[in-house]
Amino acid sequence: MSVEARSPWGASYRLIAAEKWKAKSAAMGKDVTRAFVEYARPEPGMKVLDLASGTGEPAISIASQVGADGHVTAMDLSPELLEIAESRARERGLTNFSVQHADAHHLPFADQSFDLITCRFGVMFFTDADQALRECHRVLKPHSRACFVAAGPFDQPYWSSTMAIVHRHVGGPVLAPGGPDPFRFSGPGSLSAALRGAGFADIEERTETLPWTWPGPVEEVWEYAQAMSTHFQPLLNRIPPEKRDQITRDVHAAIRKYVDGDSVKFGAVLVLASGTAR
């Protein structure tokens, strides 16, 4: 994964949550995965590196497109999450898929090893974005692309109906000062500037709103958000016991505005960006 080894991603509660919610989490992210894979344009025979793969997407979807002559390496800092990814790939009968436990800041690959690099929701957490992106540039073949999707602003339905409600009740910083920032590249042009600084050319960036649908009830959304939103843990830890029930009621009411049948349809504002190695 793209964050440092001190990340709580490997913590037991996160792994339990990742396993519990893997099917519904994948369903919620499927439209983003599909749009990102289309944006990345993998082709048969490509050798692809997917950074911050977690439990396997978009690496698995890409592996199904590059074919038997291609190969996808799914990389993450959490070996436990990569075990889930590897298991999911086996279930799909993919033989062109492998995992690599490594840090994006120090890629364990030779220069010009890959035809494509992808990274879904990882670039925001690079501790040293310039170093990690320069590493991406180094291991790409000339004229090959690195493609990223990053979170849009905090002020959008999913966060406004969950963590923004908590913040309204408890105050203080939304995120720990100096800590990881999921919204680091939400500002227009900020990810493009980082790619340009790392030596990429032919840079593209666009903001899109894509479906972000939870296939279940309101209560599950809030349970999932608390379990998986690591970077908001300091905010959640500030909830006093006497306010917990009220916050839960308020969050459920906010989420309920997006209920459509048996699902909760938020929509997600995202940043898609790419650059080409020189």
pTM: 0.91
Contact 242, 108 (CB under 8 A): no
Question: Which of 204, 53, 54, 197 is closest to 131 using CA atoms?
Answer: 197
Tell me: the pLDDT tens digits for 208-230? 999 999 999 999 999 999 988 88
Q: Count CB neighbours of 137 within 10 A.
A: 21
Structural domains of the chain, with CATH: 8-276 (3.40.50.150)
Tell me: the pLDDT tens digits for 25-80? 889 999 999 999 999 999 999 999 999 999 899 999 999 999 999 999 999 999 98
Q: Please compute Rg for the chain using Cα positions.
A: 19
Average pLDDT over residues 150-168: 97
For residue 11, how far is the Cα from the chain centroid?
A: 18
